[in-house]
Amino acid sequence: MSDAGTRGGDRQAERGTVMVIAALAMTALLLFAALAIDVGVVWSSRTQSQNADDSAALAAAAAMITQTGTNAAQADFTGARTAGKAFANKNATVGNPSVQVKDSDFVFGDWSLESRTFTPAAAEDPTKPEEITAVRVKVNMDDASGSNKRSPVFLSQLLGITGFTVRNTAIGYLGFQGKFAPSWFNLPIAVDSCELSDQNGNCGSDFCAKVESPTSCSLLAGDAQSDSVGLVCGVFQNTGDQNMCWTAFDGSSAAINKQKITDIVDNGNAGDVNAGDDVYLDNGDKTSSLAYIRDKMYGCGSFKQPADGQGPNPRYGGSYAADSWVVKLPVVECQDTTHCASGTAMEIKGGVCFEIREIVHPTPGKGCKAPSNGGDKIVKGRPLCPNSSNPTVRQLYDTYCRDKSPNAPPVEPGGCDYGPRANKVVLVQ
């Protein structure tokens, strides 16, 4: 065979090899293109289903707690599921014109701000709304009955792949008030969280039950007031009985003087206060400051009329002295050891509505006779819970604590369960 013939045969063999390699390369490129296109479709489906999941969780969380008028708050699980499904249905994904969510895809429970974990409720009990702060919602695209179709594929069908399963999870949180606007707090008095929780000052779930249990604090003898269950005797002295502190809502200065206290009594907290803020506290008699607060409640001294309250009680002089004053107070971390000492700033855990029933002071108020009892300097009252079994407590909470304005500004969730709930739902996962 000539050299020319040999070279011709080699060129033909080379051309055949190149064609095989090119065919294999084209096949590989086609497969990679198929996977790239379908992976893009899957990610698009995942994003779309996550949007549907998020909207369902937010809608369900916003609807899961209901309260009207003086009725006790309730957990509305059916209403929450209905709202969540409706919002999910308004969303579409590739292959699913309307996203479906099943009843079993909703799980209600508690979200811990401290550990950032979700704990499902032991049972769906409508009478225990204080145990429900969050809802976890799943959106499944898995071709299961009542669910959504899997994410479709196009070129990947060449590999025998018929679809991809997509699963999403979202948690909507409706916590307790964590941001308090200027003038939300009425007095420069903070409640020790250990008085409202059995969990060493952490967020407790026993608030409603604890504040309604009888205490040793009682109203003065001869008082015409009734309904004194759950009264707390607020003591400011640095003793084992201390359960209230003085505060100026200031995290930069430990000075809590009469002028700061008087300004807050007149105008409330000057700036925003958030759960988690560190503020300085103080203890002690502060006789003149407590007298000023007493004067505002009973309409003594420079105050010409008593603070808004439950009604008249003529036993304390005049014909229109208040016997109930509902205020909003901050709750601070446990003071069992420090007793409100001013050396270290302490964390605000949340806010509570508080009904003051008596302010006992050793000297009478100028212009009217406020209650006095020897040398005592005590604020007597009780926290108000919106889910109380006591209709009077619910009435007071509804009248003075619940924001009923249709355009109320949004409140950032957070803080502990001391009654007020935030009105802005957020996603926490």
Cα–Cα distance, 329 to 319 (Å, whole number): 28
**pLDDT at position 319:** 40
In the predicted model, is pLDDT for residue 312 greater than 50? Answer: no
Q: What is the mean pLDDT of residues 167-180?
A: 93
**pLDDT at position 155:** 64
pLDDT, tens digit, 9 for 90 and up, residues 349-368: 999 999 888 888 888 778 77
In angstroms, what CA-CA distances link 136 with 118, 334, 388? 8, 31, 27
Contacting residues for 221 by C-beta, under 8 A, at least 6 apart: none
Higher pLDDT, 323 or 235: 235
In the predicted model, is pLDDT for residue 169 greater than 80? Answer: yes
Cα–Cα distance, 243 to 418 (Å, whole number): 16
**pLDDT at position 320:** 41
Q: What is the mean pLDDT of residues 15-37?
A: 63
- Computed over every residue of the chain, the mean pLDDT equals 82
Beta-bridge mates of residue 66: 74
Q: What are phi and psi of 142, to 5 degrees?
A: -140, 10
**pLDDT at position 315:** 44
Confidence category of residue 34, pLDDT binned at 50, 70, 90 = low
In the predicted model, is pLDDT for residue 203 greater than 60? Answer: yes
Higher pLDDT, 66 or 405: 66
Confidence category of residue 198, pLDDT binned at 50, 70, 90 = low
Cα–Cα distance, 130 to 174 (Å, whole number): 11
In the predicted model, is pLDDT for residue 199 greater than 80? Answer: no
**Considering only 231-240, 309-318, 375-384, 395-404, which range has the smallest mean pLDDT?**
309-318
**pLDDT at position 9:** 54
In the predicted model, is pLDDT for residue 419 greater than 80? Answer: yes
Confidence category of residue 184, pLDDT binned at 50, 70, 90 = very high
Residue 65's CB is within 10 A of a number of other CB atoms, namely 20
Residue 190's CB is within 10 A of a number of other CB atoms, namely 27
Q: What is the mean pLDDT of residues 59-65?
A: 95
pLDDT, tens digit, 9 for 90 and up, residues 328-352: 999 998 888 889 998 899 999 999 9
**pLDDT at position 261:** 95
pLDDT, tens digit, 9 for 90 and up, residues 301-311: 888 777 766 54
